[in-house]
């Protein structure tokens, strides 16, 4: 596939307050274990239900931190397209996501601006919700192209200030 | 009987701000791990799946930036290794040194620099930034601590920083 056939959002298509399309995912034990193994996280609370209950005092195995980040990354770049380049991501887990949960990722644009180097940054307010309650809240900063000729991935050194 | 959480020992205080565990990746950065991660979250970003798109946009395949910590997680088993192999060793050191047997990651902040590419050799080190007073939480009583994990590549470029906010706790502490 040529990159010309792949669409990416440009700055002029983004406004403060804009909502990202929500993403729903039914979480199973496989979801949790796949994520843990893919992130090379062998800790038992992410694959051993007995350990999670009797050692950690939780109700089941739960999604691990790097996999949580991977879900947020996928959510952001599903929206921006491949030229969207993550600069920063901060999240706080207030409760865990377990098998049987339906997690919903949602988000909105908090800010958009251009830095001194001409890089366009979009600040996003994101969350994972389970049963309508926030399980993980996340702030992400993603660079997007100013126009179709711009490409944040070409930035290096002092031209990249996440 | 409930156990009292001890004060922070001076040798642990001395570790705050000190660089620890500088190490290089022990296996090649390769796309197999990337596909595992993309499959686990159904990430169809063509940067990771389409060679031509990756060439046009990022100069070739790269890894998802949020895989930053993946490259330094040890194998579950390796010849000659004894005991459980753990990533984020300073975190497990603090659990032991502070007598807090249980722990969870309460928050995480990542900053991303140069992209990681197949064949890269990465280097990392860890720095404990802070340890809190004793706190009472819904899972138990313990302390929060913050650890920075810095990553650079073989060209000396900043690849990223992973900051973990952790809670070490005892379920039986008063």
Distances (CA, A) of A9 to A15, A60, A143, B44, B56: 12, 39, 10, 16, 17
H-only helix segments in chain B:
10-13, 31-41, 51-58, 89-97
**Could you give the ipTM of this predicted complex?**
0.95
Chain A residues whose CB is inside 8 A of the B44 CB are 78
Distance from CA of A104 to the nearest CA of B (A): 13
Instruction: Kindly calculate the radius of gyration of chain B based on its CA atoms and give it in whole angstroms.
Output: 19
Where does the pLDDT of residue B1 fall: very low under 50, low under 70, confident under 90, or very high at 90 and above?
very low
Bigger pLDDT: B145 vs B86: B145
Distance from CA of B18 to the nearest CA of A (A): 23
| Residue A65 to residue B70, Cβ atoms within 8 A | no
Chain A residues whose CB is inside 8 A of the B115 CB are 153
**Least confident window among A110-114, B32-36, B78-82, B155-159:** B78-82
- Are A37 and B6 contacting, i.e. CB atoms less than 8 angstroms apart? no
Chain A residues whose CB is inside 8 A of the B28 CB are none
Domains in chain A with CATH codes: 11-159 (3.10.129.10)
- For B51, nearest residue in chain A (alpha carbons): A1
Distance from CA of B143 to the nearest CA of A (A): 16
Residue A81 has pLDDT above 90, yes or no: yes
Residue A94: HSE in the Cβ half-sphere, 13 Å Cα cutoff: 10
Q: Which of B38, B40, B77, B156 to mutate to test the interface with A (most CBs of A within 10 A)?
A: B40
| Percent above pLDDT 70 for chain A | 97
Residues found in chain A = 162
Chain B 98-157, residues with CB within 8 Å of chain A CB atoms: 102, 104-115, 139-140, 157
Residue B173 has pLDDT above 60, yes or no: no
Residue A137: DSSP 8-state: E
Q: Residues B65-122: pLDDT tens digits?
A: 999 999 999 898 889 888 777 778 899 999 999 999 999 888 889 999 999 999 999 9
Give the one of A6, A66, A87 whose C-beta lies nearest to B53's C-beta: A6
A18-38 mean pLDDT: 98
- Chain centroid to Cα A21, Å, comes to 13
| Residue A153 to residue B57, Cβ atoms within 8 A | yes
Q: Name the nearest CA neighbour of A141 among B67, B111, B62, B57.
A: B111
Q: Name the nearest CA neighbour of A84 among A66, A65, A109, A64.
A: A109
The mean predicted confidence, pLDDT, of chain A is: 95
Where does the pLDDT of residue A141 fall: very low under 50, low under 70, confident under 90, or very high at 90 and above?
very high
């Amino acid at each position: 596939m040529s990159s010309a056939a792949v669409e990416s959002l440009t700055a002029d298509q983004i406004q403060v307050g804009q909502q990202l399309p929500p993403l729903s995912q039914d979480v199973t034990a496989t979801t949790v274990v796949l994520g843990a193994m893919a992130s090379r996280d062998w800790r038992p609370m992410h694959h051993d239900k007995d350990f999670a209950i009797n050692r950690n005092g939780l109700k089941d195995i739960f999604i691990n931190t790097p996999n949580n980040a991977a879900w947020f990354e996928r959510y952001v770049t599903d929206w921006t397209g491949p030229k969207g380049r993550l600069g920063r991501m901060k999240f706080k887990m207030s409760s865990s996501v377990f098998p049987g949960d339906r997690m919903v990722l949602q988000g909105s644009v908090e800010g958009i601006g251009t830095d001194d180097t001409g890089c366009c940054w979009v600040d996003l307010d994101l969350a994972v919700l389970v049963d309508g309650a926030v399980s993980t809240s996340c702030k992400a900063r993603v660079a997007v192209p100013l126009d179709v000729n711009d490409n944040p991935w070409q930035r290096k050194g002092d031209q990249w200030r996440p | 009987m409930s156990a009292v959480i001890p004060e922070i020992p001076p040798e642990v205080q001395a570790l705050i701000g000190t660089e620890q565990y500088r190490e290089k990746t022990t296996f090649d950065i390769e796309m197999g791990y990337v596909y595992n991660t993309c499959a686990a979250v159904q990430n169809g970003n063509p940067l990771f799946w389409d060679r031509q798109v990756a060439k046009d946009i990022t100069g070739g395949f790269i890894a998802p930036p949020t895989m930053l910590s993946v490259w330094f997680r040890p194998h579950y088993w390796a010849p000659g290794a004894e005991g459980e192999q753990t990533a984020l060793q300073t975190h497990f050191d603090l659990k032991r040194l502070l007598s807090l047997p249980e722990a969870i990651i309460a928050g995480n902040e990542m900053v991303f620099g140069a992209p990681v590419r197949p064949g890269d050799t990465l280097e990392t080190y860890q720095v404990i930034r802070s340890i809190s007073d004793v706190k009472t939480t819904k899972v138990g009583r313990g302390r929060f601590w913050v650890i920075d994990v810095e990553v650079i590549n073989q060209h000396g470029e900043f690849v990223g920083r992973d900051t973990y906010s952790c809670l070490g706790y005892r379920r039986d502490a008063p």
